[in-house]
């Protein structure tokens, strides 16, 4: 009976010390996710073939974390220069971030109505930390033709309706920010939606230029370190080893009787 009790004491001591060592590292979970791409098209155009392409230059925190695409050339719809995207995760903090950039944008899709829409550069970015998720968009050298003017850093969800003979046929949103059901945030530098089923419609569908999605942040995944680690190891040496050794000696003495 004493042998069994001593053995139990040794196991209990080791379990307790192990718990102290483990408790030096906070509970953790898989960190959040992030992704980005330069452009994506999903359009059904009247009198023309459907245009479905992209995402171009797609990146994700799980890899590939960076991506580059030379250019997009869809005659009568969209032409661009270089597209870049990146996404990253910081396991120490649980934070994630993503970024997308599209150069030399020419949106010919609405040219007959607006007189042309172009930008030297369209960027979207977002970041998720333990404090929350935020994002923004930047537009350099933006020319909206007859649609007017938009700031280089437009307010979230700045929208312009495009009409033909008084009937809306499209909507263009700059710095579109969508809060998704899973807590993540999607930032689209430019999002064009064609409104189908109306007189003079060009068709239906969506075209997105420079999109970044991230968050929410995951929990950090630190290893036990610093004072917590050394205290835990010290307690293991102080209590766990002597208790285990005593149990073994007691067993040896009883077996020798």
Q: What is the pLDDT of residues 142-190, one digit of tens each?
A: 999 888 899 999 999 999 999 887 788 999 999 999 999 999 999 999 9
CB atoms within 10 A of CB 67: 21
> What is the distance between the alpha carbons of residues 34 and 216, in angstroms, rounded to a whole number?
9
Residues 20 and 66 grouped into a single domain: no
- The count of residues in the chain is 257
Does any domain span residue 221?
no
Residue 85 confidence (pLDDT): 98
Residues 92 and 129 grouped into a single domain: yes
Residue 24 confidence (pLDDT): 43
Q: Which domain holds residue 158?
A: 34-214
Residues 16 and 113 grouped into a single domain: no
Residue 222 confidence (pLDDT): 60
Cβ 160 vs Cβ 148: under 8 Å:
yes
pLDDT digit string, tens, across residues 21-65: 444 444 333 448 999 999 999 999 887 778 899 999 999 999 999
Residues 149 and 239 grouped into a single domain: no
Residues 130 and 46 grouped into a single domain: yes
pLDDT digit string, tens, across residues 64-99: 999 999 999 999 999 999 999 999 999 899 999 999
Residues 118 and 238 grouped into a single domain: no
Q: Is 250 helix (H, G, I), strand (E, B) or coil?
A: helix
**Tokens linked to 91:** 């396991």
Does any domain span residue 220?
no
Cβ 87 vs Cβ 34: under 8 Å:
yes
CA distance readout (Å), 15 to 12, 21, 235, 236: 5, 10, 12, 10
pTM for the whole structure: 0.74
User: How many structural domains is the chain composed of?
Assistant: 2
Counting residues of the chain whose pLDDT is more than 70, the rounded percentage is: 73
Does any domain span residue 182?
yes
Beta bridge partners of 144: none
Residues 195 and 162 grouped into a single domain: yes
Tell the burial category of 105 from Cβ atoms under 10 Å away from its Cβ (0-12, 13-18, 19+).
buried
Residue 166 confidence (pLDDT): 78
Residue 202 confidence (pLDDT): 83
């Amino acid at each position: 009976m004493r042998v069994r009790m001593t053995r139990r004491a040794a196991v209990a001591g080791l379990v307790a010390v192990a718990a102290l060592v483990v408790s030096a590292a906070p509970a953790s979970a898989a960190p959040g996710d992030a992704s980005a791409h330069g452009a994506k098209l999903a359009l059904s155009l009247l009198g023309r073939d459907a245009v479905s392409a992209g995402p171009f230059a797609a990146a994700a925190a799980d890899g590939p974390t960076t991506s580059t695409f030379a250019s997009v050339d869809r005659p009568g719809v969209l032409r661009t220069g270089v597209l870049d995207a990146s996404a990253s995760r910081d396991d120490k903090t649980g934070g994630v971030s993503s970024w997308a950039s599209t150069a030399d944008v020419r949106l010919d899709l609405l040219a007959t109505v607006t007189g042309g829409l172009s930008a030297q550069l369209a960027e979207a970015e977002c970041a998720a930390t333990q404090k929350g998720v935020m994002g923004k968009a930047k537009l350099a050298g933006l020319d909206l033709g007859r649609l007017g003017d938009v700031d280089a850093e437009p307010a979230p969800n700045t929208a312009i309706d495009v009409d033909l003979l008084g009937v809306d046929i499209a909507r263009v949103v700059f710095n579109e920010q969508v809060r998704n059901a899973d807590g993540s945030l999607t930032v689209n530098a430019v999002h064009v939606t064609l409104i189908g089923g109306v007189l003079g419609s060009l068709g239906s569908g969506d075209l997105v230029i420079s999109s970044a999605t991230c968050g929410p942040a995951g929990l950090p995944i630190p290893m036990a370190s610093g004072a917590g680690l050394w205290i835990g190891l010290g307690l293991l040496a102080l209590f766990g080893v002597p208790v285990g050794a005593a149990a073994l000696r007691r067993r040896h003495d009883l077996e020798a009787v």
